[in-house]
Amino acid sequence: MKTQAMLLVAMVLAGCGTIQTVVRSDEAAAKSLKDHKSYCGAVPRIYSGVTYDFCYLNAALEDGRDAQVHDPAPAIVLLDVVVSGAMDTLLLPYTIYRQQADGSIVIAE
């Protein structure tokens, strides 16, 4: 049971929207959403982790795939929304500064 919990935490943090948008470069976050064919055009830096997760869910399904089958499972992404929301709240002073200094992370150009 402990191993399963640690695996779940590792999976969530590896795909954590806040990690993707605050720690990694803007280009890496934008490329990740472009590769996933997200319909989002930009991700604001304030609560960027939560926005990233919803942009990840707001993507075109692959041809021949059922709407119930999405990679990763929507339940894991929705769990990450909670984790990202908490982390985004802690990082709010920094992300407000970055939003004013650098603007949003542009996905589609």
Residues 15-42 have pLDDT tens digits of: 688 989 998 999 999 998 998 888 999 9
Range of the domain at 97: 2-106
Residues 87-98 have pLDDT tens digits of: 999 999 999 999
CA distances to 41, 43, 45 from 54, rounded to whole Å, are 12, 10, 14
Overall domain count for the chain: 1
What pTM value is reported for the model?
A: 0.78
Q: Model confidence at 59, in pLDDT bands (50, 70, 90)?
A: confident
